[in-house]
Amino acid sequence: MRFDIVTIFPAFFAGIFEHGIVNRARAKGFVSTEVHDLRAFTHDRHRTVDDRPFGGGEGMVLKAEPLAEALASLGLATREARAADPDAARTRVILLSAQGRPFTQSIARDFATLDRAVLLCGRYEGVDERINQLYCDMELSIGDYVLSGGELAAAVVIDAAMRLIPGVLGNEASGEFESFGVADADIAVDANGVPRSQHGAGGLLDYPHYTRPAEFGGLRAPDVLLNGDHLEIRRWRREQQLRKTFANRPDLLQAASLTDEDRRLLDVIRRERTS
């Protein structure tokens, strides 16, 4: 997969792609990243990329012309033209913006199936909306807060999507045994109503993890994880998923894949919290 990043601060990404999984994925050829300096597509002595907003107001707005030229240099036509081109079906142009839809693990999974993602890093008060209307397939935000620019958001999107590309993590299941994972088919359960595995979180948060030593800081790892009873371990992990999700992200429960036993446990958890 190829990621193209259009930014006014290309040096921002110099260190980010030189460490960890992103670096290994690039070295092995699973991912390529190209950073493009928006100022290279200006035509005045000051390399101007922004201007005052129509209608007045604070701040500056990134101009449409250099962004359109940058996209053309990458071989990208307007969204309408790309929609009629079968060869462009696996390419997306994405605007990073505080006004965008929330970036989620589900969107990251979709991106991991693409051939190419082009990320436009907004700055100042934003990007001339005509670029969004003419070229962008999606406007994304990584959270309900405002950043100085889209560079950090672009790095987040690349990391989240890249690690889901087959082969990047080595063990492909590593991208499924975690928070927000897709549920196992039909939430397969055993005779006790316990999910047969935690292979997919089913939209819940991950369960807590422990490793050696068994005791640290006066706290001991849960005995259930040390006794070798895999049924009890699965039951404990599922309950912990529900508890952590209820405590930290109760909104996820509305769309999560839940069994009857899950709902019973949630009733118990709710009663504990209100008693």
Query: pLDDT digits over 205-243, tens only?
Result: 999 999 999 999 999 999 999 999 999 999 999 999 999
Q: What is the pLDDT of residue 194?
A: 61
> 275 falls in which pLDDT band (50, 70, 90)?
confident
User: Of all helices (H) and strands (E), which one includes residue 138?
Assistant: strand 138-141
User: Of all helices (H) and strands (E), which one includes residue 3?
Assistant: strand 2-7
Q: What is the pLDDT of residue 257?
A: 86
Query: Rounded to whole angstroms, what are the CA distances from 164 to 30, 64, 138?
Result: 11, 33, 20
DSSP 157-185: HHHHHHTTSTTSSSSGGGGTSSTTPPPPG
Q: What is the pLDDT of residue 96?
A: 98
pLDDT of 195 over the 70 cut = no
Contact between 159 and 22 under an 8 Å Cβ cutoff? The reply is: yes
Q: What is the pLDDT of residue 126?
A: 93
pLDDT of 115 over the 80 cut = yes
Angle formed by the axes of helices 20-27 and 151-162, to 10°?
A: 60
Q: What is the pLDDT of residue 130?
A: 97
Read off the pLDDT of residues 91-111 as tens digits, 9 standing for 90 and up: 999 999 999 999 999 999 999
Average pLDDT over residues 254-263: 91
pLDDT of 184 over the 90 cut = no
Integer Cα distance of 95 and 153 in angstroms: 10
Quote the tokens at residue 74. 């990458």
In the CATH hierarchy, which fold is given to the domain comprising 176-274?
A: Trp Operon Repressor; Chain A (1.10.1270)
Read off the pLDDT of residues 52-95 as tens digits, 9 standing for 90 and up: 999 999 899 999 999 999 999 999 999 999 999 999 999 999 99
Q: What is the dihedral of CA 197, 201, 205, 210, to 10 degrees?
A: 30
User: Of all helices (H) and strands (E), which one includes residue 7?
Assistant: strand 2-7
Q: What is the pLDDT of residue 216?
A: 96
Integer Cα distance of 112 and 90 in angstroms: 10
Integer Cα distance of 225 and 230 in angstroms: 9
Integer Cα distance of 12 and 152 in angstroms: 9
Q: What is the pLDDT of residue 202?
A: 77
Residue % of the chain over a pLDDT of 70: 89
pLDDT of 132 over the 90 cut = yes
Residue 195, beta-bridge partner list: 189
User: Of all helices (H) and strands (E), which one includes residue 109?
Assistant: helix 105-111
Read off the pLDDT of residues 2-40 as tens digits, 9 standing for 90 and up: 999 999 999 999 888 888 888 999 999 999 999 999 999
Q: What is the pLDDT of residue 198?
A: 53
Q: Where does CATH 3.40.1280.10 sit in the chain?
A: 2-172
Q: What is the pLDDT of residue 203?
A: 83
Q: What is the pLDDT of residue 10?
A: 97
Integer Cα distance of 181 and 168 in angstroms: 17
Average pLDDT over residues 250-259: 92
Q: Tell which CATH architecture fits domain 2-172.
A: 3-Layer(aba) Sandwich (3.40)
Tell me which residue of 62, 72, 65, 70 sits closest to 96, measured CA to CA.
62
pLDDT of 174 over the 60 cut = no
Q: Where does CATH 1.10.1270.20 sit in the chain?
A: 176-274
Backbone angles phi, psi at 269, to 5 degrees: -65, -40
Per-chain mean pLDDT for the chain: 91
pLDDT of 201 over the 70 cut = no
